[in-house]
Amino acid sequence: MKLRLILVMMIISISMVYNYLGYDPLINVFRNNNRELPIYCVDTPEKKIAISFDAAWGADYTEGLLKTLKNYDVKTTFFLVGFWVDKYPDMVKRIDEEGHEIGNHSSKHPHMSQLSKEQIIEELTRTSEKIEAITSKKVTLFRPPFGDYNNRLIETSRGLGIQAIQWDVDSLDYKDYGTDAIVRRVLSKVKNGSIVLFHNNATYTADALPIILDSLQKEGYKIVPVSELIYKDNYYIDHTGMQKLLR
């Protein structure tokens, strides 16, 4: 028992040292190498982050969000569900025309890990086709509904040329805790390379957004769409979902 404890402590110590030095691939022998991960955040020395909005139900506050983003000269990424695109095509066009990136958020907002490869392909292609028909721009990003994924989803998405994106800062705006709670949570968790999750139709997001943007810009953060934050090649994704450049 004592020997086992010593071995465990040695593995943890080695892992911590290599992680600190940035050599995560060298310690993957202690982890599940077969697990596919989406991008949760990016390892970057720059004070640069991405802000994203998931849109599935409703658009009551989207106009206000767009006005605030325009006032602060900030471009973001909107992940849209297919049935939202069907219901609000003019808003999809508006989001695109104002310079924001549009990503795929599935067709019907299902738990994607429960779907077959064929069903996943249908969910992704149908929504991408709808978005591309409005914007004339290829969809390259996808956010799984509920943050739910498995290897089949990540591999299938990648095979379609679509990068799966998660987040490392959840505003929890959908819980309706209030404006101050959203502001405190986001500002306390943001760091270089963060991807922040909001929802377009949460009750207090439109009120919290200008406060957050003002504070982040004063701190020197540059806010960009997700595709301008992530690396396109010569990278790997570590066990935490952080995207890193190969050295």
Selecting among 54, 168, 173, 238, the annotated active-site residue is: 54
Helix ranges, the chain (H): 2-21, 62-71, 82-87, 89-97, 117-135, 151-159, 179-189, 205-218, 226-229
Strands 163-164 and 41-42: unpaired
Selecting among 100, 173, 199, 238, the annotated active-site residue is: 199
Strands 235-237 and 77-80: unpaired
Closest C-alpha to 195, from 48, 81, 62, 57:
48
Write down the residue that tokens 């949460």 correspond to.
Answer: 202
What are the C-alpha distances in Å from 186 to residues 24, 39, 103, 141, 198?
27, 19, 22, 23, 10
Give the Cα separation of 203 and 172 in Å (integer): 11
Strands 169-170 and 163-164: unpaired
- Determine whether 199 is an active site residue: yes
- Determine whether 111 is an active site residue: no
Residues labelled catalytic: 54, 199
